[in-house]
Amino acid sequence: MNFFVFCFSVLLLVSAFFVISSRNPVHSVMSLVLVFLFSAGLLFCLEVEFLALSFIIVYVGAIAILFLFVVMMLDIKIGDNSLSFLAYGPVGYFLVFLFLLEITLPLITFVGSFDSIFNANVDYFYVNWLKEIDYITNINAIGQLLYTYYFVYFLMSGLILYIAMIGALMLTLTLNRVVKKQIVYKQLARQSDNSFLKVK
């Protein structure tokens, strides 16, 4: 298990680096999809299956694909590669320094409080909760609640998402006036006297 956690963590960091370093926006979005997939793999290793599946369904299946469609619709031109990364070096180094400082300061105070925790006279006892309660996975528990008590809200959310999808399609729809199209209601409403033209 530790091997898979290490592999997913390394691949996650590499994919995240490619998200911010790629010049092609389509490649950045594809690297973002890999970031979400490796994050879901880490959550599977932590036995949090529902969050892992939510990452795959929501982030990979909806948000990342939406980003990809937006990038493809905007037709972003890829700029030149003459941009120097060293020009933004001082700002990046300063932000990295602040990030590391915010991480290390709470860790130092947390490690310093270890002595008081372990030296305290507290009676520790272990409880095996798997023997005390019925074991059920979180996917089974959420599925039982979602499809029994909250199935009406689940169907309503699906209907709202369906309406939003139709609205997005209608907003991006461009009608070409030059192309001849069939007008059905005019064809159905025509009478026999105006359906053809008599020529002498």
Identify the residue with better confidence: 81 or 185: 185
Choose the weakest-confidence range: 69-73, 136-140, 172-176, 184-188: 172-176
Identify the residue with better confidence: 5 or 131: 5
pTM, two decimals, is: 0.50
Q: How confident is the model at residue 190 (pLDDT cuts 50, 70, 90)?
A: confident
Alpha-carbon separation of residue 8 from 16, 22, 34, 50 (angstroms): 12, 21, 10, 18
CATH of 2-76+119-188, one of 3.90.580.10, 3.40.50.410, 1.20.120.1200, 3.30.390.50: 1.20.120.1200
Q: Output the pLDDT for position 145.
A: 85
Identify the residue with better confidence: 149 or 68: 149
Contact 38, 11 (CB under 8 A): yes
Please choose, from the candidates 28, 18, 29, the residue with its C-alpha nearest in 3D space to the C-alpha of residue 67.
29
| Residues whose CB falls within 8 Å of the CB of residue 144, separated by 6 or more in sequence, listed in order | none
Contact 186, 87 (CB under 8 A): no
C-alpha dihedral sign at 63, 67, 69, 74: positive
Percent of the chain with pLDDT over 90: 2
Percent of the chain with pLDDT over 70: 74
Contact 48, 81 (CB under 8 A): no
Q: How confident is the model at residue 181 (pLDDT cuts 50, 70, 90)?
A: confident
Q: How confident is the model at residue 8 (pLDDT cuts 50, 70, 90)?
A: confident
Contact 57, 33 (CB under 8 A): no
Query: HSE-up of 123 (CA within 13 Å, CB side)?
Result: 0
C-alpha 129/C-alpha 131 separation (Å) is 5
Largest CA distance in the chain: 114
Q: Output the pLDDT for position 75.
A: 64
Q: Output the pLDDT for position 86.
A: 62
Q: Output the pLDDT for position 132.
A: 66
Direct distance between the N- and C-terminal alpha carbons of the chain, in angstroms, rounded to an integer: 90
The residue written with tokens 């996650």 in the block is 12
Burial of 41 by CB count in 10 Å (0-12 exposed, 13-18 middle, 19+ buried)? buried
Q: What is the DSSP letter of 191?
A: -
Contact 70, 29 (CB under 8 A): no
